[in-house]
Amino acid sequence: YNLSRKLLISEQPLNDKIGIVDFRYILKKSNAMKTLGNKFLYYEKKINKKFKEKQIELKDKEEKLKKDKTGLSDLSYKNKLNFFKKEVLIVQKNYKNERSILNKSFQKIQKKIKDLLAQVIKDISIKKKVNVVFLKENVFLFNNPSIDFTSEALDLFNKRTKSFKIIITPSD
């Protein structure tokens, strides 16, 4: 009685070519991510500087309001204080909004960069006839350094992103 039985994985011949790539390392070292990081920091500093200036302006207005309190009627003082509080809320809301726009823009571009890198890795794996690619961070041990094509992927990724335009759209 000859039943065909399924082979256990351990009994199957190993004919799948395997590759390993360090995705995080490539992102960290890539020119595109460095440029994106620098632009993000530039706009972050710009937003923070603008907010700091507004804070100083508001602090001065608050001091002036405190000094003027004695010369104002209760109603006039309350009106000016309410107006000041509204102004503070608007400045805080604008700051939060600008930070949010910057972060969303950064995340959108970061996703495009990651997708592009994934395509580069796929292209290399097809060229090398690699059927399975593991992320280096998920591999406990590999004894054959020739299956690691991180450097090749980084080089190709830098070439493909050379003309990549990184435009962060903060509100000015």
Average pLDDT, integer, range 148-152: 94
pLDDT value, residue 172: 47
Could you please report the per-residue DSSP string of 86-132? HHHHHHHHHHHHHHHHHHHHHHHHHHHHHHHHHHHHHHHHHHTT-SE
pLDDT of residue 69: 85
Taking only the tens place, the pLDDT of each residue in 123-146 is: 999 999 998 999 999 988 888 888
Residue that is written with structure tokens 């003027």 in the block: 68
Question: Which residues on neighbouring strands pair with residue 132, listed in sequence order?
Answer: 18
What's the confidence (pLDDT) of residue 12?
53
Q: Out of 8-12, 85-89, 90-94, which region has the weakest mean confidence (pLDDT)?
A: 8-12
Helical segments of the chain, H only: 23-29, 31-68, 74-127, 150-160
Instruction: Report the pLDDT value the prediction gives residue 99, as an integer from 0 to 100.
Output: 94
Instruction: With a cut of 60, say whether residue 63 has pLDDT above it.
Output: yes
Quick one: pLDDT at residue 145? 86
CA atoms within 13 A on the CB side of 73: 3
Residue of higher predicted confidence among 16 and 138: 138
